[in-house]
Amino acid sequence: MEKTAEEVAEWMVQEIKFRSMLRQEEAIAHVRTHFGEEHVFVNEKGNASLSKDVKKAFRKLHNGRIAWDRDGFFWGWT
């Protein structure tokens, strides 16, 4: 059964709540394995990234309580 972007976003929020942070490379690897390649794409710089649908659902779910650390490439609970 195909997983939705909302299910991916829910997993991400739960991981961050539990661990207080989630590294991008861990998220990409987990999403590919457990949710499917359709939720990951390679951006113009050649880096793996989460789909726009996942990012949109994620922002909606966390409501500003999670911040992206662009230097460390991780999301953290604020």
Residue 30 domain boundaries? 5-65
Domain count for the chain: 1
At 2 the pLDDT is 76
At 71 the pLDDT is 96
Task: Answer yes or no: is 72 within a domain.
Answer: no
Nearest to 31 by CA among 14, 16, 9, 53: 9
74 phi/psi in degrees, rounded to 5: -145, 160
Contact 78, 25 (CB under 8 A): no
Mean pLDDT of 32-59: 96
Q: What is the pTM of this model?
A: 0.93
Q: Would residue 77 count as lying in a domain?
A: no
Q: What is the pLDDT of residues 16-43, one digit of tens each?
A: 999 999 999 999 999 999 999 999 999 9
> pLDDT grade, residue 44 (50/70/90)?
very high
